Structure 1
Amino acid sequence: MKAVQLSNYDRTPEIADVAEPEAAAPLDVVVRIGGAGVCRTDLHIIEGQWAQKTGVSLPYTLGHENAGWVHAVGSAVSNVEVGDPVILHPLVTCGLCRPCRGGDDVHCENSTFPGINTDGGYAEFLRTNARAVVKLGDSLEPAAVAALADAGLTAYHAARKAVAALRPGDTVVVIGSGGLGHIGVQALKAMTPAEVIVVDRSWEALGLAELAGAEHLVNADGTQVEAVLDLTDGHGAEAVVDFVGEGGAIEDGIAMLRRTGDYYVVGYGGTLAIPTIDIISTEINFVGNLVGSYNDLEELMTLAARGKVSLHTRTYPLTDFGKALEDLDNGQVKGRAILVP
């Protein structure tokens, strides 16, 4: 089969002919890929930023946001059948460790992460397991939802945490309305009556936020903190969900937060530096967010099937992966780029 493989860090991946995966273990599921999301993390992987963390052996196949159709199953698989359309939770988990048994499979002690530390979905087929596959509703197509498997799941995971603490009359600020942010806005609007303020330097991204239902749009032109404070009567927002995490976004976000507020960190790259006396005197909270659980993904697919969450996508043939990566790197992708074999 054809697969996009990374053979050397800091070099463009290449199309290669590799062996088609087989359902060897009882719970294995082989999926024919219908769409693979192109993520900024893929750019970081190519640059070598994840090399030490993952320890993956090169060459291997990229792609950690995947959806498609069940192609083959192991002898013990009972939750899906060949031909079923599915989206894949990004982790292949064991189900036996303490985190898995507690429903916190994101922190499975024995997980693998296709596209990060093992072969992923920039290919015609991908092997995962029965614990990772979520069957899609009749109204959903794999290519249309593939990026929800990680970008959407991460955004939903953070939004769901914020929703638990938000009440009618509260305000939540979303920093960044790009590939993750515009999904986060939709999730917030689907689950909370709180008003949503979106801050972004791109008017195109703010346009996505407006379509997603945000009540207030703030251009990050240097006056964004003052604008948010004006919109919240000088108090700041009860919650800030930061999908940027660098380039001054953190400092702005903290300044937009009211006393006892919650700051949800999703984007990364910057450094969180705040005097501890400012934390205790205002009782603000900082909450990290990785990726969502299997249950989070099921819930997100329910919202997607009901039309509450949708992706703005641009599709590319698998052979045009280089163009997709280049467009993403140059900021020319509105929403998410999807590779379709």
Structure 2
Amino acid sequence: MKALQYVKVGAPPEVREVPLPEPGPGQVRLRVTAAGACHSDSFVMSLPEEQYRAGYPLPMTLGHEGAGIVDKLGEGATGVEVGDSVAVYGPWGCGRCIQCAQGKENYCERAAELGITPPGLGHDGSMAEYMVVDDPRFLVPLGDLDPAGNVALTDAGLTPYHAIKGSLGKLGPGSTAVVIGAGGLGHVAIQLLRTLTTATVIALDVSDDKLELAKEVGAHFAFPSTPEAKDRIAEAIGTPSVTAIFDFVAAEPTLELGSALRGTESDLVVVGVGGGQVGAGILAAPYDATVRAPYWGSRPELMEVFALARSGHIRVETETFHLNDAAEAYHRLHEGTLRGRAVVTP
């Protein structure tokens, strides 16, 4: 079968012929219908050789956003049937710790100890014609949802949903939420904020195209992400501070901007993998201002995200690529020329 693999550190990924995987006991094989390309993949492929080899194998099939049709069941696998249309819940855990028992396998207490990694971020993922999933509990029914149009919700929907839920108690009438980075995750975050809260939603980005997308999906205001953004926000809402900032870039300049927007009891939610850092402490921020760095989301939350998609409250702006052209999807992602999310359809 064909698979998009990261083969050599520092080189672009390659479409290669690899053996068809067989599901072992308790495992499930999927015929992949859609796989999403994500900045996390680009981040991993940007690591220097020493760092990469410390945590990831070579070659490795990319793709931690996946959807497919159940194709074959390993011995003892139950809970799904051949022919089911499913999506893959990516942050796999041990299934037994207190976090996993609550469906929060993204916060599994033993994953690192046991060597458990997400597909495409530690072992072979979904950018292939077929993939093997370790346990049926990692499969969420898609039902009548289109795989290509919704596979990105397994990360680009789940991650902002989980991040926003942690601030819902503050985002009532009169509140303001700022989304920094209106691309793949950010444009979904804007829709979630409009659906789940009564906050005024402001988008910031360096791309005019993405600012236009932000307005299309519901942002009340959309400004260039420059040092002048704070003044423009103050002019728009009448105050220089906001209730919550969701930074989907998390580079040094965006975190500096987000920090400058904080007021008393503001939330700064660091979601992106841009490598920036933000200070905390009694003199480093307004009183009771928080900094959170959430990771992905829980299995129940993914089901809730799909429910929002079925009801028409959220959608993902997608551009599709054939598996043969999957490397181009990552090139476009790296160059920042994707308007929303890239999806590969084998």
TM-score bracket relative to the smaller structure: over 0.9
Question: Helix, strand or coil: the match of 2:296?
Answer: coil
Residue matched to 1:132: 138
Instruction: Identify the residue that residue 224 of structure 1 maps to in structure 2.
Output: 229
2:251 aligned partner: 246
Separation in structure 2 between the aligned mates of residue 144 and residue 229 of structure 1, nearest angstrom:
36
Question: Is the 8 Å Cα contact of residues 184 and 339 (structure 2) preserved in structure 1?
Answer: yes
How has the CA–CA distance of structure 1 residues 112 and 99 changed in structure 2, closer, same or farther, with 3 Å as cutoff? same
Separation of aligned partners in 2, 1:70 and 1:50 = 36
2:33 matched to which residue of 1?
34
In the other structure, the counterpart of 1:263 is 268
Deviation at residue 75 of structure 1 after TM alignment = 4.4
Structure-2 separation of matches of 1:132 and 1:152 = 16
Structure 2 residue matching 1:276: 3-state secondary structure: coil
Partner of 1:24: 24
Residues 177-204 of structure 1 show CA distances to partners (whole Å, capped at 9, x for unaligned) of 0111001111111111111111122221
Aligned: 1:48 with 2:47? yes
Q: 1:50 to 1:81 in 2, by over 3 A?
A: farther
Following the alignment from structure 2 to structure 1, what is the Cα–Cα distance between the partners of residues 322 and 87? 19
Q: Relative to 1, partners in 2 of residues 1:164 and 1:79: Cα closer, same or farther, differing over 3 Å?
A: farther
Q: Give the distance between the partners of 2:280 and 2:306, measured in 1 at CA.
A: 40
Q: What amino acid is aligned across from residue 6 of structure 1 in structure 2? A: Y
| 2:153 maps to 1:148 | yes
Counterpart for residue 117 of structure 1: 122
> Is the contact made by 1:68 and 1:143 (CA closer than 8 Å) also made in structure 2?
no
Q: 1:337 aligns to what?
A: 342
Q: Which runs of 5+ in 2 are unaligned?
A: none
Instruction: Please give the alpha-carbon distance, in whole angstroms, between the structure 1 residues aligned to 2:343 and 2:98.
Output: 35
Residue 287 to residue 14, structure 1, CA distance change in 2 (3 Å): same
The RMSD of aligned alpha carbons is 1.9
- Separation in 2 of the partners of 1:209 and 1:24? 44
Which stretch shows the higher mean deviation, 114-123 or 93-102?
A: 93-102
Tell me the matched-pair count.
339
Q: Distance in 2 between matches of 1:280 and 1:121?
A: 42
Give the drift of 1:240.
0.8
1:198/1:209 contact within 8 Å kept:
yes
In structure 1, distance between residues paired with 2:55 and 2:275: 23
* Distance in 1 between residues matched to 2:286 and 2:334, nearest whole Å: 41
Partner of 1:64: 64
Name the structure 2 match of 1:100.
100
Shifted more, 270-279 versus 282-291: the winner is 270-279
Q: TM-score, normalised by structure 2?
A: 0.92
Whether 2:90 is the aligned partner of 1:90: answer: yes
Q: Deviations over 1:269-293 (max 9, x none)?
A: 2432436233465220001121111
Task: State the Cα distance separating 1:142 from its structure 2 match.
Answer: 0.9
Q: 1:182-331 maps to which residues of 2 (within 5 A)?
A: 182-274=187-279, 276-279=281-284, 282-331=287-336
When the two structures are superposed, what TM-score results if normalisation uses the length of structure 1? 0.93
Mean Cα displacement is larger for which, 261-270 or 226-235? 226-235
Classify the secondary structure of the residue corresponding to 2:167: helix
Task: Out of 34-43 and 160-169, give the one that drifted further.
Answer: 160-169
SS in 1 for 2:157: helix
Worse-matched range after superposition: 268-277 or 288-297:
268-277
